[in-house]
Amino acid sequence: MHTQSKPSANGRQAGFSFIEIVIVMAIIGVLATMVVALVPMIQERGRQTKSRDNVRNLTMYMIDRRTGKVSGGWPRYNGKNFVLSVVATNDLDRRRKENLEMLFSPGDVLYTLEDVDEKRYEEINKKSLKDGDFHELTSYAGRRNQERDFLITPDQEKIGTLLICDDDDGPLHHPDGIVCGYTGGDVRYKEWAEFDMSKPDPDNPDEFLGDASSNEELQRVLGH
């Protein structure tokens, strides 16, 4: 003898209706879309944080040498050679790979430590930085401190002037701005609007550093 299933308390058959299934699927779709949108944002935030840490460490090496017992002033080099001065002075130990990783922005797809012959760092010294080309050995642009017009003055040093930032070689490291380090040790991620600039093309940006820059602050650094 067959028994009939009992109706639910509200008179409906037990289980999910078609409409309920559609609603659940719609909710799952919305959540999946949110996850897809959030993951790149979280990854970019991580790249910004790591890059700020890199620039902070590089900046502090220079500040410590500037103010410490082994004072040598601000490095008298231009662009990336300015940044690589921390290798020439042995403040950054070139024998340790984790130290060399500090020289590269995690958002840089053009220059990476994996693509570099690490023996090239052995060529870096105070003399070779005067005229040598080591642009592929770091992602970061440095001060034009070899040029008289851009030397760091005491007044600039006091208020905080730009020392290091992301370079303008290849695609942008970050879509909406760049990481900047200053003489006082301050390190910030600054959006393009803070430089009164429109956002460059992420994949093929025009030069935004040096003489080509429309911003006076960014004219003080070079990416090569």
* Of residues 84, 182, 98, the one with CA closest to residue 140: 84
164 touches 143 (CB < 8 A): yes
Q: For the chain, give every domain's residue range.
A: 46-222
- pLDDT given at position 70: 57
pTM score of the predicted model: 0.83
Residue 85: exposed, middle, or buried by beta-carbon count in 10 A (0-12, 13-18, 19+)?
Answer: buried
Share of the chain above pLDDT 90, in %: 73
pLDDT in tens, 139-164: 999 999 999 999 998 888 889 999 99
Sheet arrangement for strand 162-166:
187-191, 177-182, 162-166, 140-143, 221-222
* Of residues 149, 65, 150, 4, the one with CA closest to residue 141: 150
88 touches 122 (CB < 8 A): no
pLDDT in tens, 59-103: 999 999 888 755 568 999 999 999 999 999 999 999 999 999 999
Phi and psi angles of residue 185, each rounded to the nearest 5 degrees, phi first: 95, -5
User: Is residue 49 predicted with pLDDT exceeding 90?
Assistant: yes
Residues 6+ apart with CB under 8 A from 103: 54, 58, 83, 84, 87, 92, 113, 137, 138, 139, 140
10: left (phi over 0), alpha (psi -120 to 50) or beta: alpha
| Distance from C-alpha of 61 to C-alpha of 68, rounded to nearest angstrom | 10
